[in-house]
Chains A and B, each alone.
Chain A
Amino acid sequence: MERVIELRNVYAGYGRSVILRDVTFDVMKGEVFALLGGSGCGKSTIMKHMIGLNPVLSGDLTVAGMRWTAKTRAKLCRKIGVMYQSGALFGSMTCLENVLLPLEEFSKLRRKARRARAMELLADVELADAADKMPSEISGGMRKRVAIARAMALDPEVVFLDEPSAGLDPITSASLDELILRLKREKGMTFVVVTHELDSIFRIADRAAMFDKARKGMVALGTPAALRDSSPDPFVRKFFNRRKTDGR
C-alpha cells in the first residue's frame, strides 16, 4: 500500500518544549488512521506538525512524499484538507461561500463549474439545502459537515479531522462517523482523525496510534481491536477498558 504520511523519529512540541519523543508511524492511502490518547498527550500537537502549522522539533515528517518547507508549502496545502474541532467556518460567509473559497483561490474551473462543484460537495455531506445559510444558523454537527466539504474541495490526498465528535450528541456523532466511512468507501479518501471517543474509534478507524502524556511518546500502534485485546501495555488496556471501570 502507498504511504501518504511518514513520520520517522519525530520529536513534537513548541519552541523548547518537547511534548512527544521519537514518534514513528506511517499513514497508508485509503485508511482511517486515529491518533488516540488522553487530554494533553500531544495528539493535536502531532497533527499540527502534519498539517504544517508548526515545524517538528527534530526527525523526519513527509506528507505525500514532501517535507514542509517554504518551497513545498503551497503544493502541500493543496494535498491536505483539515476540519478543525469547531469547524472553523468563516462567519461572514454562507456555507456555500465557505466551500467555494478554496475553489475560487486555487481551482482553474470557471465560475459556474466552481459553484456546481461546491454544491456537489455540500450534497456529498447531505447539506445542499443549507447552502445559503450562515454558519451561525446551523447546528454544530452541520458546521462540521460543511467543514468536511470545504476540506475536500480541492480533492486532497488526506483529510485531517480534529475531534470530530467533540460537542456532538451520540446520534449526530454516529452520523458523522457514517459520513467519514462513506467518503472513504466511495472516494477512497484517507483520513487522520484526532479523537478520544472509543465508540467512534471502533466505528471508523482502520489503525490507531496511541500516545501517553506521562511517557511523552507513542505507546501503541495497530488496529483498535488489537490494541484493546492484546496490547501488553497497561495504559493502553486501561484506556480501552475504561467503559468497564467508568460505568459507561
Chain B
Amino acid sequence: MAILSGLGEWFDKGRRSFAGWQEFIGETTVDCLSLIVRPRNFRFGDFLLAFQRASYSGLAISTGIGFLLGLILAFESAAALRSFGVEVYVADLLTIGLFRELGPLVTAIILAGRSGIAFAADIGTMKVDEELDALATMGLRPVRFLVLPRVAAATLAMPVLTVFAELAGLVGGAIVLRVMDVPTVVFWAHVESTATLFMIVFGLAKACLFGMLVGLIGCFSGMRTKATADGVGVAATAAVVSSIVAIAVTDGILAVVCYIWNV
C-alpha cells in the first residue's frame, strides 16, 4: 500500500512538474515571439550583464578545462596509438572529438555549474523576496524581465566559450605530441585536414542548443523556488542536475540522429 501511495505521489509530482514546464515554455515562447513585434521590450542591459557573467567571467575556467581535456585525451590516445606508430592521428581524434562532441558537452556542463546555478539562485532569491510578485502586480511579465535576457545570454555565451575550450584543447594536444617528437606543424596540418566546416558549425549549433537548455532550466528552477529555508539551495541543485541530464540526453539523441543521417 505504501509503495502504491509513493508511486502515486511520484506520478502526481511528475505531472505537476511537467504542467509547470509546459506553462513556462509556453510563456517564454509567447514573450519571445512578441519581441519580433516590439523589439524595444527586450531588456538589453540585463542581457549584456548576464552575457558578461556567463561568457567573460567563465572564459578562464572553460579554457583551462578545455586545455586539460585536450592534454589528457592526447596522452591517453597517444599511448595506445604509439604502439602502432601512428601517434600523429591523435590530432585527427582530438579534432573530431573536441569539435563534434566534447567541446560543446564539457563547456555546457561548466556553464550549468556556473551560470545555470546562478540563474536559479538569482531568480529564486527574487521569488522568496516577493520581487516576482512585485513585477506581476506592476503588470510586467517576469519571463520577459528575467528569463529572456538570461536564456539569450546563455545561448550566445556557449559558442564563445566552446571555441575557446576547443582551441585550448587542441593546444594541449599539440603540446603532448610535441613532447612525443611529432612536429607541431604536422599536428596542425592534420587538424586542418580533418576539420570540416559542417563539423565546426554542427558543434557550435549544438553549443547554442545546450546553452539555451542551461538558461531555460536554470530560470525555470528559480521561478519554482519554494519560500522555505532551503528553497534557493534546492532550486540551484535542481538546476544543475536537470541541466546535466538534459544536456546528456539531448547529446545522445543528436548522436543517434547523426548516425541515422550518416553525418
1/0 per residue, CB under 8 A from B, across A89-119: the answer is 1111000000001100110000000000000
Report if A166 contacts B (CB, 8 A): no
User: CA of A78 to CA of B139 in the docked complex: distance in angstroms?
Assistant: 7
Report if A74 contacts B (CB, 8 A): yes
Q: Which residue of A lies closest to B139 (CB)?
A: A77
Report if A88 contacts B (CB, 8 A): yes
Asked if B129 and A80 sit within 8 Å, CB to CB, the answer is no
Asked if B129 and A77 sit within 8 Å, CB to CB, the answer is no
In the complex with contacts A86-B130, A88-B130, A106-B137 CB distance below 8 A: no
Q: Which residue of A lies closest to B138 (CB)?
A: A102
1/0 per residue, CB under 8 A from A, across B184-202: the answer is 0000000000000000000
1/0 per residue, CB under 8 A from A, across B46-85: the answer is 0001000000000000000000000000000000000000
Q: What distance in Å separates the Cβ of A61 from its nearest Cβ neighbour in chain B? A: 15
User: CA of A85 to CA of B140 in the docked complex: distance in angstroms?
Assistant: 19
1/0 per residue, CB under 8 A from A, across B130-148: the answer is 1101101111100000000
Asked if A84 and B134 sit within 8 Å, CB to CB, the answer is yes
Report if A238 contacts B (CB, 8 A): no
Report if A53 contacts B (CB, 8 A): yes
Q: What distance in Å separates the Cβ of A44 from its nearest Cβ neighbour in chain B? A: 11
The one of A51, A52, A80, A88 in contact with B131, judged by C-beta atoms closer than 8 angstroms, is A88
**Hey, which chain B residues are within 8 Å of A86, CB to CB?**
129-130
- Number of residues in A with C-beta < 8 Å to the partner? 21
Asked if B137 and A53 sit within 8 Å, CB to CB, the answer is yes
Asked if A82 and B139 sit within 8 Å, CB to CB, the answer is no
Report if A242 contacts B (CB, 8 A): no
1/0 per residue, CB under 8 A from B, across A66-86: the answer is 000000011001101010111
**Hey, which chain A residues are within 8 Å of B140, CB to CB?**
101, 105
Asked if B138 and A101 sit within 8 Å, CB to CB, the answer is yes
User: CA of A74 to CA of B137 in the docked complex: distance in angstroms?
Assistant: 9
User: CA of A89 to CA of B138 in the docked complex: distance in angstroms?
Assistant: 12
User: CA of A53 to CA of B130 in the docked complex: distance in angstroms?
Assistant: 11
User: CA of A105 to CA of B42 in the docked complex: distance in angstroms?
Assistant: 12
Asked if B138 and A84 sit within 8 Å, CB to CB, the answer is no
Asked if B130 and A52 sit within 8 Å, CB to CB, the answer is no
1/0 per residue, CB under 8 A from B, across A147-185: the answer is 000000000000000000000000000000000000000
Q: Which residue of A lies closest to B129 (CB)?
A: A86
Asked if A88 and B139 sit within 8 Å, CB to CB, the answer is no
Among B130, B136, B137, the most chain A Cβ lie within 10 Å of the Cβ of B137
Asked if B131 and A73 sit within 8 Å, CB to CB, the answer is no
Asked if A53 and B139 sit within 8 Å, CB to CB, the answer is no
Asked if B139 and A84 sit within 8 Å, CB to CB, the answer is no
User: CA of A189 to CA of B201 in the docked complex: distance in angstroms?
Assistant: 60
**Hey, which chain A residues are within 8 Å of B126, CB to CB?**
90-91
Asked if A88 and B136 sit within 8 Å, CB to CB, the answer is no
The one of A53, A90, A92, A106 in contact with B133, judged by C-beta atoms closer than 8 angstroms, is A53
**Hey, which chain B residues are within 8 Å of A89, CB to CB?**
131
**Hey, which chain B residues are within 8 Å of A101, CB to CB?**
138, 140
Asked if B130 and A77 sit within 8 Å, CB to CB, the answer is no
Q: Which residue of A lies closest to B132 (CB)?
A: A88
Asked if A82 and B129 sit within 8 Å, CB to CB, the answer is no
**Hey, which chain A residues are within 8 Å of B49, CB to CB?**
92
Q: Which residue of A lies closest to B41 (CB)?
A: A105
**Hey, which chain B residues are within 8 Å of A92, CB to CB?**
49
Asked if B139 and A74 sit within 8 Å, CB to CB, the answer is yes
**Hey, which chain A residues are within 8 Å of B139, CB to CB?**
73-74, 77-78, 105-106
Asked if B137 and A85 sit within 8 Å, CB to CB, the answer is no
The one of B131, B133, B137 in contact with A77, judged by C-beta atoms closer than 8 angstroms, is B137
Asked if A105 and B138 sit within 8 Å, CB to CB, the answer is yes
Residues of B within 8 A of A (CB): 49, 126, 129-131, 133-134, 136-140
A-B contact list, 28 entries, CB within 8 Å: A52-B136, A52-B137, A53-B133, A53-B137, A74-B139, A77-B139, A78-B139, A80-B137, A82-B133, A82-B137, A84-B130, A84-B133, A84-B134, A85-B130, A86-B130, A88-B129, A88-B130, A88-B131, A88-B134, A89-B131, A90-B126, A90-B131, A91-B126, A91-B129, A101-B140, A105-B138, A105-B139, A105-B140
Give 3 nearest A-B pairs by CB, closest first.
Answer: A77-B139, A88-B134, A84-B130
Beyond A82-B137, A105-B138, list 13 extra A-B contacts (CB 8 Å): A53-B133, A77-B139, A82-B133, A86-B129, A88-B129, A88-B131, A88-B133, A89-B131, A90-B134, A91-B126, A91-B129, A91-B131, A101-B138
